[in-house]
Amino acid sequence: MGKIIALANQKGGVGKTTSAVNLAASLGVLGKKILLVDLDPQGSATSSLGVSKKSLRFSVADLLIGGCRPDNAVIRTEFEGLDLLPANITLAATEFDLIEKEDAESHLRRALSTLRDDYDFVILDCPPSLGMLTVNAMVASDGVIIPMQCEFFALEGLVQLMTTIGQLKRRYNPRLAIIGILVTMYNGRLALSTDVLAELQKHYPDRVFKAKIARNARLSEAPGFGVPVYYHDKGSAGTKEYLRAAKELLERI
């Protein structure tokens, strides 16, 4: 049974999608079988893998409301070991519909219950909010990875996120673990970055990934080509750092 891991942070633009796509692809390169689930109505993970959002026959939205069989919605990709459960803007309406349903928080858990057997890991790319889609992700998951930029307000947001994770864990999903905080877009020459990192390490000593992701142009270009960074530039710092983070993830889980 594959482990389900959510990449979550209610803040937008912190590197959730970049980390979900590139951790998933790196784990695939390391020989694992991966399902990447796009849970953001913006569908950035979907386009990052070169899949057109407009021409989807089925998406994760159909799966959440029981509108298709799980294997109908899964797309095989050209990347090693990597399958995709895509999303597009229809997911926004689905999130709204879910709220009215019974067991609104556990639809994703149910949808993935048999699908997960086909994979070593199911990676969930969450939207930038703590709404019903993120709640569904946390309820379905074995663990959470929190991508974080070392900025002034980051720690405040983190405290709020940790509180929410604690509440969901008590109420719905006792096995939910915090796998780690992954520092993204890191710049070791900025005092603010190093200060925030030091604070993070002080408050959450065992939780911060040793692998840090620096700002790297290849990482921001790759989605434009519809490929994970490994398939855009194997020698880039971004490729190496996400491979390192993927290996650390295998040790942490």
Ligand X SMILES: Nc1ncnc2c1ncn2[C@@H]1O[C@H](COP(=O)(O)OP(=O)(O)O)[C@@H](O)[C@H]1O
Binding partner selected for residue 18 from Mg ion, ligand X, none, CB under the kind-specific 5 to 8 Å limit: ligand X
- Segment contacting ligand X (CB under 6 A): 9-17, 51-59, 109-117, 198-206? 9-17
At a CB cut-off of 8 Å and minimum separation 6, what does 85 contact? 35, 36, 37, 38, 59, 60, 63, 73, 74, 75
CB of 22 to ligand X, least distance (A): 9
- Segment contacting Mg ion (CB under 5 A): 38-46, 50-58, 59-67, 108-116? 38-46
Site membership for ligand X, residue 184 (CB under 6 A)? yes
State the Cα torsion 190-191-192-195 to the nearest 10°: 130
Q: How many residues bind ligand X (CB under 6 A)?
A: 16
Q: Which is nearer to Mg ion, 44 or 46 (CB)?
A: 44
Candidates 97, 101, 110, 128: give the one binding ligand X (CB under 6 A): 128
State the Cα torsion 56-143-12-215 to the nearest 10°: -100
CB of 243 to Mg ion, least distance (A): 21
Site membership for ligand X, residue 47 (CB under 6 A)? no
CB of 175 to Mg ion, least distance (A): 25
Candidates 16, 32, 53, 109: give the one binding Mg ion (CB under 5 A): 16
| Sheet with strand 177-184: strands edge to edge | 75-76, 82-85, 34-38, 121-125, 3-7, 143-149, 177-184
Q: Which is nearer to ligand X, 70 or 147 (CB)?
A: 147
| C-alpha pair distances (Å), 71 with each of 67, 84, 112 | 12, 11, 10
- Segment contacting ligand X (CB under 6 A): 98-106, 109-117, 168-176, 215-223? 215-223
Which structure tokens are listed for 211?
């692998």
Residues near ligand X (CB under 6 A) are: 12-18, 44, 128, 184-185, 213, 215-216, 219-220
Residues near Mg ion (CB under 5 A) are: 16-17, 44
